[in-house]
Amino acid sequence: MFDSLQAGYAPICLLVLAASWFIARVGSPRLRVALALVTPVAISAAWFFMPRLLALFRPLAFNEDPWVPWGFMATAAWAVFAVPVSVLGTFGFWLTRRRSPKHGTP
């Protein structure tokens, strides 16, 4: 699942949607926008690099393809879909929380 580019879209977008639920609770609008833009990129990078964390510190073997540049390309490909999901999810959750009688209108 971590090695396939196509298999990463759905779980990353679900993680980003869950994170946007918590981002929507942030009080400052500027911080909320910044987190909505940075968090999906961080989740995409973590999705690629977490299983390979120990391999980052060992030297490459002879004829081994350097996979770190491919990780940044995969992160960018996933972030293309994850950033709009985060922005729309954060705005939608913020609007839902704002309209909710339980939380009141600020």
pLDDT for residue 106: 52
pLDDT for residue 95: 92
Query: Which helix (H) or strand (E) covers residue 11, if one does?
Result: helix 9-23
Query: Apex CA 51: angle with CA 50 and CA 54, to 5°?
Result: 85
pLDDT for residue 103: 59
**pLDDT tens digit sequence for 18-53:** 999 999 999 899 999 999 999 999 999 998 888 777
Give residue 98's pLDDT band: very low, low, confident or very high (50, 70, 90). confident
pLDDT for residue 42: 95
What average pLDDT does the segment 95-99 reach? 86
pLDDT for residue 6: 79
The whole-chain average pLDDT of the chain stands at 84
- Taking Cα atoms as reference points, which of 48, 24, 51 lies closest to residue 35? 24
Residue keyed to tokens 């699942």: 1
Cα–Cα dist 14/10, whole Å: 6
**pLDDT tens digit sequence for 55-88:** 767 776 766 667 778 888 889 999 999 999 999 9
